[in-house]
Amino acid sequence: MKCSELIQPSQIVLDLNATDRWAAIDELVDHLVRLGLVAATQHETVITAVKEREKTISTGVGFGIAIPHGSTDGVTKVTAILGRSSKGINFDALDNQPVRLVVLFLVPTGQYQEHLKTLATISRFLGDRDFREQAFKAASAQELYDVILKREG
């Protein structure tokens, strides 16, 4: 699986308004609903799945990144969205630093292997300092998507 297959330019939010992790999750899921990638009838189910997972331990893993995720019946295939914050988001990250890049992903209930593969793929990407620096500088969603493609190159 490639990040470019998970995240299209329409699934990139360049300027998140959220200041905390709960609002960031709401904002990203709302965007997925607007795109039609999550049915409006599944909105609350998806929000609950991600927030319940987040309550167990923060997915703010450090270096300004967070990877909130959840398993839910609200999707039929792996679904992801990338958000960027210029202000930084309080995610209760492991290093206590604000988060600037958030990749939220959803996996259909019971697809444990797919969940682990997706988490590993996203972690590898976000763990690359050069990628993060280029992602912070991208002027448009398309430019950020191009950074993803180049990194996969």
**CATH number of 128's domain:** 3.40.930.10
Is 39 strand, coil or helix? coil
Known catalytic residue at 115? no
Among residues 31, 43, 69, 115, which one is catalytic?
69
Please state the domain count of the chain. 1
- Number of Cβ atoms within 10 Å of the Cβ of 3: 21
Task: Write out pLDDT tens, residues 10-56.
Answer: 999 999 999 999 999 999 999 999 999 999 999 999 999 999 999 99
Q: Is residue 89 a contact partner of residue 36, using CB atoms and an 8 Å limit?
A: no
- pTM for the predicted model, two decimal places: 0.93
Q: Is residue 13 a contact partner of residue 28, using CB atoms and an 8 Å limit?
A: yes
- 56: domain range? 3-152
Q: Residue 108: pLDDT band by 50, 70, 90 thresholds?
A: very high
